[in-house]
Homo-oligomer: A and B are copies of this chain.
Amino acid sequence: MADDNAKQSLLSETVDPSHLNESNALKRRKIRRCGSAPLSVMNCSGHNGIGSLPHLKSMFVKLEPSFKQVFILLAAYLAVGTLCFYLIRDQIKGRKTNGVLDAVYFCVVTMTTVGYGDLVPDTILAKLLACVFVFSGMALGGLILSRAADYIVEKQEVLLVKAMHRHEKAGPAEILKDVETNKVKYKFFLALILLLVLIIVGTLLLSLVEKLSFIDAFYCVCVTVTTLGYGDESFSTGVGRAFAVFWILSSTICLAQFFLYLAELYTEGRQRSLVKWVLTRKMTFSDLEGADLDHDQAVCAAEFILYKLKEMGKISQEDILLWMERFKDLDVDGSGTLTRANLMLSQ
């Protein structure tokens, strides 16, 4: 969650200047310098000797598996799975085609939890191996959903918005702003379009290659993308299975990602109406008293912002207390403000 927010703030920094409808360089520099924005300072002028700050980024980016790492992990998983199931191919019963093809097909059907049952393990070793591969496959699927799938959709997003703005005279700033404000909506539509394409392609190929009727092909597609996999209809030919390997992987992940975006869209809608409600609510004297952190009978901008972010549930009382204590440690002269003199004294 922290990571999402950090990413969001990096992105918003790119868009903010246009957000204010002020495009001159002076104003921009002002925003960079004063906007309570350590992350933006790090990104926009990371070379100006802030010292340890760039470490932050590298340190926490490293902990997060990147798109490339997830892709390598998936390739390794499929390679090991194919090898294992190829070696014990005599311990798997069912409709068979080519040895290697069946192994990779069985691996994908197991990993995505589709589990048609057209190929099933027949010995204790094969059964235990299938158990190991389905659990690790589920974990890998979660990793793909949380990192790689979203990354791919995000990459396509700017292209989609650019295409939509083709006939308008929209500059890169406007397009970026549009992408930023409607981020989740565009992602949702992209996933929906991709899902529909995958369903149509799957239906066509099942009816052409596997010679299923149109209804049966569509039924098999639905049974597969949802990972239901009854197994009454499945891929039984070599060509069908070669296609199935890629199609099952992408379509099951696409549907899961679609549901995730749907949930995100709903959450964002709620968040927006909450912001709207807090924005229109009138400040009362009690609010003023509550926001006054330093008891000077006046609420400065930062106190007001903290109070409103707390009201929206973005930050908690615990967060504020944690940093309040740290502030008191730094404020060695007890003046209630930090100055250069304070810093030199405390460090």
**A90 contacts the other chain (CB 8 A):** no
Q: A129–B50 Cα gap in the complex (Å)?
A: 62
Q: Which residues of B contact A287 (CB under 8 A)?
A: 38, 50
**B113–A226 contact, CB under 8 A?**
yes
Contact with B along A310-331 (1 / 0, CB 8 A): 1111111111111110110011
A33-55 vs B, Cβ < 8 Å mask (1 yes, 0 no): 11111111100000010111000
Range for the number of chain A residues in contact with chain B: 35 or more
The answer on a CB contact under 8 Å between A16 and B338 is no
With A319-B314, A324-B301, A339-B298 given, is the CB distance from A1 to B115 under 8 Å?
Answer: no
A134 to B255, CA, bound (A): 12
The yes or no answer to A120 lying at the interface (CB within 8 A) is yes
Task: Say yes or no: is A340 at the interface (Cβ < 8 Å to chain B).
Answer: yes
- A215 in the interface, Cβ–Cβ < 8 Å? yes
**A79 — which chain B residues lie within 8 A by C-beta?**
none
User: With A36-B310, A324-B301 given, is the CB distance from A271 to B1 under 8 Å?
Assistant: yes
Tell me the dominant secondary structure on chain A's binding face. helix
Contact of A223 among B131, B283, B284, B331 (CB under 8 A): B131
Complex contact B310–A38 (CB within 8 A): yes
Within 8 A of B (CB), among A136-192: 138-139, 142, 146
Q: How many Å lie between the Cα of A35 and that of B313 in the bound state?
A: 14
Across the interface, name the chain B residue whose C-beta is closest to A230. Answer: B117
Task: Name the residue in A271, A297, A306, A307 with the highest tally of chain B Cβ atoms < 10 Å from its Cβ.
Answer: A306
* Segment with Cβ contacts to B, from A81-89, A236-244, A288-296: A288-296
Contacting A34 at CB < 8 Å: which of B127, B281, B290, B308?
Answer: B290
Q: Is the CB of B284 within 8 A of A51?
A: yes
Residues of B within 8 A of A263 (CB): 142, 146
Q: Which residue of B lies closest to A227 (CB)?
A: B113
Contact yes or no, B301 A293, CB < 8 A: yes
Given known pairs A36-B307, A231-B230, A306-B302, the reply for A317 and B16 (CB within 8 Å) is yes
**CB–CB A313/B6 < 8 A:** yes
Find chain B residues with CB under 8 A from A310 CB.
9, 36-39
Q: Please provide the chain A residues from 25 to 71 with a CB less than 8 Å away from any CB of chain B in the complex.
A: 33-41, 48, 50-52, 56, 59-60, 63-64
The 20 sampled A-B contact pairs (Cβ below 8 Å) are: A1-B271, A2-B312, A9-B310, A12-B317, A13-B317, A37-B290, A37-B317, A38-B311, A50-B284, A115-B223, A115-B229, A130-B219, A131-B218, A135-B226, A138-B259, A229-B229, A298-B338, A299-B339, A304-B326, A304-B327
